[in-house]
Structure formats: structure tokens, C-alpha cells
Amino acid sequence: MRVVVVGHRGSGKTALVAQALDGVRALAGDRARMSPVDRWRLHRTTARLAAGRPIGATRTPRVASLALTAGDQASAGPGLSVTVHDHPGRAVGAGPTGLARRLETDLAQADGIFMVISQEDLMSARSRRLSRCRSLVVPVRRALLAARAGPAGPGGIQSVVIVVTRAGRRPAVGELAMLATPFDGLETSASAVIAGATVALDDDPAPPHAALPLLWCLDRWVSQAGGAVTAGWQATTSAWFRAAWDAAEDTGRYAWLPYRERRVP
């Protein structure tokens, strides 16, 4: 499964990726494997976050991979590969640069997308707020259209999660819905065919629900993939997702699901 993270500079993408991967590793235990380089990067970032130190800007696109093995649960079948593509903020709203093109390419091939935006941006003056949201919505919508028009027909991107970072305190459900109003157009138009959610993350260096966006995408992907992915994985990822959803309580605002699949998560 390929997840692409898109957001402005300083919105907290790298921290989100680290916290999300760390959260999945904690749930998966021995069944989660990472390369030494990815492990070292993850450790460095989470240590910095825990110490309250800045983690520095991402300058080039980075890919972190997580291999989930069946472990002793034979029913889970073959392993799963999760890759998270963290793009620098400069790629958003940029001109025809290599970074912007790479982001477009990655988005078109994604199974899930995180749109990361800080609460500060969502509470800024109307024009700035809409401009920040517009520059995130445009490439994502283009990717969704391209994925649906692709040779394989409707498919590709199955989930989009709007992650509101730097939420100073846990916003109530209604507050988060109001904050995310600029994304209503995308949500309304996309919810006919794909699933999404809006999740708020506060300043906690290791928020208990940080893995929720990644587990949401993973659960959706597993339930749609079929074939090689067996029912064993569906039960596992659903259980992980539910655990994270429960931990999120009211900070995971709501889920928008395709009309045909409306269900309470």
C-alpha cells in the first residue's frame, strides 16, 4: 500500500509520518519490520519530538517502508508492504518544478493520501485559509480524477485523510467540522466514490491516535484489495483500526464513506 503525504512547509508532515509508523509498529509488535535506515530515521524523529526539539524541514521526497508479516497468524497469509511518501512542503503550490511533478506522479499512484494542514492555517484570515486549502485540494482532486480515468478504470486512491495538526487542545466534533469547511467541496464530491476522514492531532509528541490516518488507509486498502490479501489481514487491520479509532475518541472527527458503504467505523 502506498500512502502519499501532502502539506505545506512546517505543517507537521514528517512528525505525522513518524508518529503514524511508530503507532503501527507498536500495534503490530514483532510483525512489523523496517529497514535499518528507516528505523534510524524514525527513532531520530520520534526522539526529537519527545524532547520537544525541531525536526528540520524535509528537502527531498522521502519514502519510509514498513513490512507487515503474517507472524504466527497463518490465516493472515502473505505479508503486506506499506510505503509512506513524505514530500517537502515546497512541492505544494509550486510552479512546474521537479518536486511538483514528482508529487503529481506519486499522488496519481497512491492508494491513500494524507492532506496535512495545521490548525493555525485553518484559523487564519479567510483569504489565506482558502488559499492554503486550495493548493492542497487541487493536486489531490487532479490525482483522484486521473486515478478514475486510468486504464484500469475506477480504482487507485481509496482513501483521503485530512489531518489537522497542531490542534492546541482536543477540538470538539463540531469545531473540527467547522475548521475543515474549506475541504467540504472535495469531501462532498469525493465521498460518492472514495472514503475519507478528518483527524485532529494535538501537540502531544506521541498522541495515542497518531496512527489512525495510516490505519484507516490500511484497513480500506486491505478490504478493497481482495485476491492475495486474505480475510485474516482484514480482521487484523480492522482490529488495529478500531483500537486507534477508540483511542481517538472525539478527535477523529468523522468518516466520510462512499454512499454504498455507509457504516459506523
Which residues here bind other proteins, judged by CB under 8 A?
Answer: 93-96, 100-101, 104, 125-128, 130-131, 133-135, 137-139, 141-142, 144-145, 148-149, 182, 184-186, 188-190, 192-194
The dihedral built from the CA positions of residue 156, 162, 166 and 169, taken in this order, carries a sign that is: negative
What are 125-134's contacts with CB under 8 Å, separation 24+?
129/182, 130/182, 132/8, 133/182, 133/183, 134/182
| Cα separation, 162 vs 262, whole angstroms | 19
Q: How far is the CB of 115 from other proteins (least distance, A)?
A: 13
User: Radius of gyration over alpha carbons of the chain, in Å?
Assistant: 17
Tell me the C-alpha distance between 192 and 178, whole Å: 21
- Compute the least distance from the CB of residue 156 to other proteins, in Å: 11
The residue among 131, 129, 130, 138 whose CA lies nearest residue 104 is 138
- For residue 257, the minimal CB distance to other proteins (Å) is 14
Shortest approach of other proteins to residue 104 CB, angstroms? 6
**Closest CB to other proteins among residues 162, 229:** 162
Shortest distance, position 250 Cβ to other proteins, whole Å: 26
Q: Give 66 or 147: the residue with its C-beta nearer to other proteins.
A: 147
Residue type present at position 71: G
If the CB atoms of residues 64 and 140 are measured against other proteins, the closer one turns out to be 140
Which residue lies nearer to other proteins by CB, 104 or 250? 104
Closest CA to 187 of 162, 163, 165: 162
**Comparison of 125 and 228: residue with beta carbon closer to other proteins:** 125
Q: Closest separation between CB of residue 132 and other proteins, Å?
A: 10
User: Smallest gap, in angstroms, from Cβ of residue 126 to other proteins?
Assistant: 8
Residue at 74: amino acid letter: A
Burial of residue 66 (number of CB atoms within 10 Å: 0-12, 13-18, 19+): buried
Cβ proximity to other proteins, 43 vs 142, nearer residue: 142
For the residues of 186-207, what is the DSSP string, one character each? Answer: HHHHHTTTSEEEEEEEES-SS-
How many Å apart are CA 97 and CA 206, to the nearest integer?
34
Of 41 and 132, the one with the shorter C-beta distance to other proteins is 132
Distance CA 115, CA 30 (A): 30
